[in-house]
Structure 1
Amino acid sequence: MTTNYQVLFYLKKPKTWSKGPIPIYLRITVAGVPKETSVGRKCDPECWSSEFHRASGKSENVRLLNTYLDSLERKVEESHTQMSKDRKEITAETLRDHFNGVEQKKPMVVELFTRHNKRIEELVGTEYEKETLKTYNTSLGHVRNFIIKYYKKEDIGIDLLDYIFISEFEHYLKTKGGIQPISAKKYITHLKSVVKTQCVLTKLLPGDPFLQYKNKAKANIRQFLDKAELTKLENKVIKVERVERVRDLFLFCCYTGLSYADISKLRRAEIGTGVGRGKWIFTNRKKTATNTNVPLIAPAIALIEKYKDHPMCEETVFPVMSNQRMNSYLKEVADICGITKNLTFHLSRHTFATTVTLTNGVPIESVSKMLGHTNIKTTQLYAKIVDVKVSADMNKLKRKYK
């Protein structure tokens, strides 16, 4: 986009001036904002035309002065053209500095990352979760420590953001940082997001430094409860109310694919009649804000009925505790039920995706939609898990037929 500007030469009288030649100044105006600079020449006010903003007269000195001023005006035009070509921000100040050969301050990596995280912080509770801010701040810490270690500086200009920076950062995370490859991939993904929004889309960088970069880290095989473990969990009689309640909420997530954040805000108004006249959940995922509609199967409906008269459930469907307490009690649930796997609400979603749906023939497209995934590739990770289970089951069968 072209930004218009105006150039004006004028005489600027010093405070101590009484008579004689006056310094000539150049004023550059962009969007109504003026900035001035001295041109290093003087002119007698009697020989200055306020109408044409040039020296007046036919002497050789006047001709040479006006020729010089014309050359300065062309230089401003050249600066404007170059800045437009480079897609640099054009203000009266930046245009004046470019004209004077003053190098603008380079945008810095840590500075831009910090600004990005500050914007997330301002939107926590509306567009972002606290956990999102926490993970981005962790990523910022890794970037800052890498720059100090690798470049021996507190910060560097974004012009050093290239393929070498990215690959060296990845190597640093895996070695000096002691971070597992899949976690390193997450931190690099955060950096990529910041570079895209703060540098590439804003044209501060001429190209995307991540264009040729490929991360080869593979996601770990996600744990889930098999049918036998799910049945054991469901049938176990638990006499302690708080532990029984957490077990029930975990089971509900296993049968619906909801996360802790989703079940904690689930309201009765979000349970309704859907296609086929069965009971459905109609809600939005808190993490991605995507619409999630889930048909309820019998075990899930039974759990809703069990808590419909609970004193803590006037508007919400379940009496949910804090995430910290729930995870603590899940360890008790696992011990009571004799389950050795680490029970978390992430594992409950994995169980829904695998044991409850994919293993029973539910198409992956439907599973992806119910989980609220924005990319089906995320759901395909669960399909690979199911393939692993099928392979293990078939190997058992093969041994029987040897």
Structure 2
Amino acid sequence: MNKTFNLLFFIKKNKIRTNGTAPIYLRITIDGKAADIAAKRYIDPQKWDVKAHKAVGNSQEAKTLNIYLKTLEQQVYDSHYQMLKEEDFVTSESLKSKLLGTDISTRMLIPIFQDHNDKVEALVGQDFAPGTLERYKTSLKHTQEFIIWKYKTSDIDITKIDHAFIMDYDFWLRSVRKCANNTAVKYIKNFKKIIRLCMANGWLSKDPFLGYKAKLKAIERPYLTKEEIQTIYEKEFASDRLNQVRDIFLFSCYTGLAYIDVKKLSKSHVNLGIDGDKWIFTHRQKTDTSTRVPLLPLAQELILKYEDHPECVNSNVLFPVLSNQKMNSYLKEIVNRVDISHRKTYIRHDCYIVQWCSNRKCKQNARSYQYKNHSALCEDLG
């Protein structure tokens, strides 16, 4: 709802015509922002009452002009009232467009969201990671499903997005989609970026997220123990794909590198460190920082195992890494076969490096990863 709304008529003396008359304009001011509309009438500046904002005198000409201006003023009031009923919030420019018949074209949410995702996709590998694009795609899909569920339509005018929309979307994610708290908060956060984009472009004048509060909850995830890692290491599977996934997972455990960082590793990333041993020199994608990782004997063993693998040779990578989705799927299968009670996915491998490493490299590891109490946890695996 608008806080202030004012109208006044005035003449523009800098546009006086050759016959000495000046054009009359109507100024619409809403919440401090003004827009001028030509009244399509002219008057001698000497016959205009600046304070009363109307023609001076009781002549028929003055009466006719003032009646016309009063009628135009009433049209503005009527249009403003109608727009408030439909939109809840009106700007001076939108009201002006309404009066002139050049209403601002309706902007729908889904095309705006899709355009954002298209731009993210074009910048994947430069400013965005592939995973970021997938998250926005999923967020768009959820948004479309919510709109259909709530409004029985495939899209919605962005000016219709209010606080109630956000609260209902949050409820839908948690109830219909059965998302956990953190998952729901992340989807809402992705949607909030689209709203910020609309506001930055001036398409929305009010932030629907005002008053909305949701926080991520800290989640304690179980670490793999040394015994569990050893069980996975010793287990041989009849399927080559499971053995391959197991080896890549173990390499992640021995180095603390994330899935995407292992996937990008090539022989050029392996070099001698200042201690004369082999290290991995790479760039972490998630943090966009360079990192150095000492190669434990078991990690080197795995690299040698795959150095002649066709995919490694042809693509110049250290390991034939599958997609993240397949890796997680096969890891669950591995976990079930080795009877590890608590569920683990690929992304938990990086916790294991906190619990054990080679004593010989303990100090270097502690400096590289900045883990607390690292020296108290390490064991000699040499």
Whether the TM-score (by the shorter chain) exceeds 0.5 is yes
Deviations along 1:133-182, one digit per CA (max 9) or x if unpaired, are 34323322332333344455544443444443322321222223333322
Q: 1:154 to 1:241 in 2, by over 3 A?
A: closer
Q: Quick one: distance in 1 between partners of 2:324 and 2:17?
A: 77
1:303 is matched with 302
What TM-score results when the alignment is normalised by the length of structure 1? Answer: 0.59
SS of residue paired to 2:209 = coil
Asked if the contact 1:274–1:295 (Cα under 8 Å) also holds between the matched residues in 2, the reply is: no
Give the C-alpha shift of residue 230 in structure 1: 1.3
Q: Quick one: distance in 2 between partners of 1:238 and 1:97?
A: 71
Deviations along 1:54-99, one digit per CA (max 9) or x if unpaired, are 7534xxxxx4xx32x3x35x869x9xx7379xxx9x9xxx999488
Give the C-alpha shift of residue 247 in structure 1: 1.7
1:113 is matched with 113
1:330 is matched with 331
Asked if the contact 2:280–2:295 (Cα under 8 Å) also holds between the matched residues in 1, the reply is: no
Letter in 1 for 2:292: V
Deviations along 1:275-317, one digit per CA (max 9) or x if unpaired, are 555433222344x371241322413233223433445433221
Q: Quick one: distance in 1 between partners of 2:242 and 2:154?
A: 49
> What are the within-5 Å matches in structure 2 for residues 203-352 of structure 1?
203-206=202-205, 208-210=207-209, 212-236=211-235, 241-274=240-273, 276-286=275-285, 288=286, 290-298=288-296, 299-314=298-313, 315-323=316-324, 326-331=327-332, 333-352=334-353
Letter in 1 for 2:348: L
Q: 1:145 to 1:310 in 2, by over 3 A?
A: closer
Q: 1:188 to 1:366 in 2, by over 3 A?
A: farther
> What are the within-5 Å matches in structure 2 for residues 2-401 of structure 1?
55-57=17-19, 63=20, 66-67=21-22, 69=23, 71-72=24-25, 82=34, 97=97, 100=100, 102-124=102-124, 126-151=126-151, 154-196=154-196, 198-206=197-205, 208-210=207-209, 212-236=211-235, 241-274=240-273, 276-286=275-285, 288=286, 290-298=288-296, 299-314=298-313, 315-323=316-324, 326-331=327-332, 333-352=334-353, 354-356=354-356, 367=369
Give the C-alpha shift of residue 274 in structure 1: 4.0
Give the C-alpha shift of residue 269 in structure 1: 0.8
Asked if the contact 1:280–1:293 (Cα under 8 Å) also holds between the matched residues in 2, the reply is: no
Q: Quick one: distance in 2 between partners of 1:216 and 1:146?
A: 21
Asked if the contact 1:278–1:295 (Cα under 8 Å) also holds between the matched residues in 2, the reply is: no
Q: 1:199 to 1:340 in 2, by over 3 A?
A: same
Q: Which 5+ residue runs of structure 2 have no aligned equivalent?
A: 1-13, 37-90, 378-382
SS of residue paired to 1:313 = helix
When the two chains are superposed, the root-mean-square deviation of aligned CA atoms in Å is: 4.4
Give the C-alpha shift of residue 335 in structure 1: 4.7
Q: 1:257 to 1:155 in 2, by over 3 A?
A: same
Q: Quick one: distance in 2 between partners of 1:313 and 1:144?
A: 41
Letter in 2 for 1:166: I
SS of residue paired to 2:312 = coil
Q: 1:107 to 1:223 in 2, by over 3 A?
A: farther
What TM-score results when the alignment is normalised by the length of structure 2? Answer: 0.61
